[in-house]
Amino acid sequence: MYNFKQEEKMEKADIGIIGMEVMGKNLSLNFEDKGYTVAVYNRTGAKTKSFAEGPAKGKKIIPTYEIKDFVGALKKPRKIMLMVKVGKPIDDFIEKLLPYLEKGDLIIDGGNSFFKDTIRRNKELTEKGILFIGTGISGGEEGALKGPAIMPGGQFEAYKLVEEMFQKIAAKAYDGQPCVTYIGPNGAGHFVKMVHNGIEYGDMQLIGEVAWFFKNAFNMSSGEIADIMKEWNGESDILRSYLIEITADCMREKHKENENEYLVDIVGDITRMKGTGTWTVQSALELLVPVPTIAAAVFSREMSQEKELRLKMAEILPVQIKKELEENRDEVIKLTHDALYIAKISSYAQGFALLK
């Protein structure tokens, strides 16, 4: 536990991170790798201890087991990043932190919070003299460790407190520039991350429909579809992207207990959602911005959960594939490639229109 009597002797942390799930742990390691000292805390101390004795061992990471000790381990003005579940857990931790904070300290919500909640929290904390940033973090577990894209929104003075730190841990674009910039006030950062996720919903749905089409039109195996996706992810191909790349990898994955069976052919065809896609569509309706591709992707995920209904519909309206498709296989594959490109542009355009 952090010892206040040794406060002057011990090195204070540049930033504190609450939440020791994989994103919180990897961001802690990323900050530490860039030269920063990090204080960490988790609601259940066992996870903090496991992290401290495992990946964080020997690094400039200070494990703490009480909120008071966590706050006491930080340099002033304190910079605290919440990497916990969205919703009530964010509000709960803010309430726990407030008794130990001073005016000018900064709280950062690094989860996928609804931007309207971020606006509310910003207002409430501003009234108490506490700075607040709601930031989108893109790149998943690997991005958190090696370099994410960061979308911070809040007071500009709050952003300036962490600008250099964020620039150091962020991914770098092709021109070497860090993938982070000040998005705007209040919930702007989380709004952009929400739309980013909505665009990704559309992108994934389009790729999934292409795979379904190839399987049903040409009776392709998952391995054959993987080969096409790998080709489409070629260095000079206009479809080259991370999602195309991992689609090829996923389609090629074999069942561990049966190498003759592709994993994608046996996993359940039901997709869940965390909320950002739904929020994107709801916001588009409120702002009168049409986002049909993104909306269709969200409804497709909802429809996937109606398994019994889908099976009944498939019996009533079986898929009819025209013979001409097989006869013109190569041409159809090329046309599908181009159609996917145009549809992806449409999904991005809808998202950018919503950002305006």
The answer to whether the CB of 243 falls within 8 A of the CB of 348 is no
From CA 336, how far away is CA 338, in angstroms rounded? 5
Q: Which residue has the tokens 């001073």?
A: 102
**Which phi and psi (to 5°) does residue 20 adopt?**
-105, 40
47 is a catalytic site residue:
no
95 is a catalytic site residue:
no
Active-site residue identified among 25, 79, 200, 344: 200
Question: CA triplet 95, 100, 101: central angle to 5 degrees?
Answer: 85
Largest CA distance in the chain: 81
The token pair at 333 is 């594959």
Give which of 321, 64, 342, 330 is closest to 206, Cα–Cα. 342
Active-site residue identified among 25, 79, 193, 344: 193
Give which of 63, 55, 51 is closest to 33, Cα–Cα. 55
Give the number of C-alpha atoms closer than 13 A to the C-alpha of residue 271, restricted to the C-beta side. Answer: 15
Question: Which residues are annotated as catalytic?
Answer: 193, 200
